[in-house]
Homo-oligomer: A and B are copies of this chain.
Amino acid sequence: MALIVRKYGGSSVADAEKIKNVAVQIVKAKDEGDQVVVVVSAMGDSTDELLALAQQVAANPDSRELDALVSTGEIVSATLMTMALHDMGYKAISLTGAQAGIHTTSTYRQARIIQVDTTRVKRELEKDNIIIVAGFQGVTEDMDVTTLGRGASDTSAVALAASLGAKVCERYTDVKGIYTADPRIVPEARPLAEISYEEMLELSQYGSMHSRAIELAQLYNIPILVTSSFVKSPGTLIHGGEFMEVRNKVSSVAYDLDVAKITIVGVPDRPGIAASIFEPLATANISVDTIVQNASVDNITDLTFTVAEGNLGKALEVVRPVCESISARDCVGDAKLGKISIIGTGMQNAPGYASRMFKTLSDEGINIQLITTSEIRITCIVEESKVKDAVRALHKAFELDKND
């Protein structure tokens, strides 16, 4: 008898019919004699609908209240899933994050799990219940409801898997696994059999999974199996164990169209300048992604950074007065950009990946505006209209259509 911790995303439980289909899958695991703990997200777009309601009553809704509000979405899906299991004749019980013992900090909207008290979950497992846990949420010391950040039902599932000593955390969603590239724009893209925590962390920036879920999985060495709740698929195993081959290659190409760039031209290169620019942006709650500073010539430098497109106007408003105060020459924004990354363990030890990437883009006539790298990632910022062509070209150049 194994303990299975499984998570179903919002698209898998989007309506009553889908909930009943998932219930059939859950029951299969139970019939095999396993103990089953399932974490569910809110139905389809219900979180967005609740957020829209909040916007109708308040321009700037309070974080504590937002968390109490949106956490109801997962309670709805968890209770409905439990009812569907009962209807099939199985013992089951829904638990809120609080009831499942997920204790968090009180940093609303982005709470961190402090501890998982598994007392109640274990008691219900002993009663032979299938346990359906409302994902995405926890509770403070004061019994106030928190949420763990958008998409954080993944994190709930990994935290439960780690606390309960599960061998693996299964993540069911509307795709077959982690792909070599977005199959909507690269038809040859295919699901990977396995991927490392580190590579997955890089991919998480592109929205494929909540990054804290991966960090937590890595910390507690819980493999995550990403697979489809709609079609049969072996899925992708995210893990930290030995890989079948010592890979020395690119595993996937990721992209993001929601990129805008601000370049501050002619910045005096002296200590404290970067802080004077980025502190007001942080205060205005604008996330800055890539930051690049060109080499300084005559103590004058250019500073470029990227923000989400929707934040460009506000970011320029914040930055322009700073530019004047530091006597920068100019401050220019460009909204029509995109980001492409190739991701793969071992790239840094093997020369030639960067140059092959740059050559591929050049052959496609794509101009590179910014380059940044990490140990396992090379990212280029290019014109937005060229992003999809770039992804296709890179997918081919790195032979991602061929099996591992």
Contact = CB atoms under 8 A, between A and B. Distances in A.
Given A57-B16, A58-B84, A61-B86, A66 B79 contact: yes
Name the prevailing secondary structure of the A interface residues: helix
Contact of A62 (B20, B62, B86, B145): B86
A205 B145 CA distance: 37
A76 B72 contact: yes
Interface stretch (A94-102, A305-313, A334-342): A94-102
Contact of A68 (B56, B69, B79, B143): B79
A65 B94 contact: yes
Contacts of A23: 57
Contacts of A84: 57-58
Interface residues of A, number: 39
Interface in A129-151: 143-145
Contacts of A82: 62, 65
Given A76-B50, A99-B143, A87 B60 contact: yes
Interface string A42-84: 0000000010011011111110111011001001101111111
A65 B87 contact: no
Contacts of A83: 54, 57-58, 61-62, 65-66, 69
A126 to B, nearest CB: 15
A381 interface: no
B75 A87 contact: no
A59 B20 CA distance: 12
Nearest to A55: B16
A284 B72 CA distance: 33
B86 A75 contact: no
Q: Which 3 A-B pairs have the closest CB atoms?
A: A16-B56, A72-B72, A58-B87
20 contacts: A16-B53, A53-B80, A54-B79, A58-B86, A61-B87, A62-B83, A65-B79, A65-B83, A65-B86, A65-B93, A65-B94, A68-B78, A68-B79, A68-B94, A68-B96, A69-B79, A69-B83, A72-B76, A99-B143, A99-B144
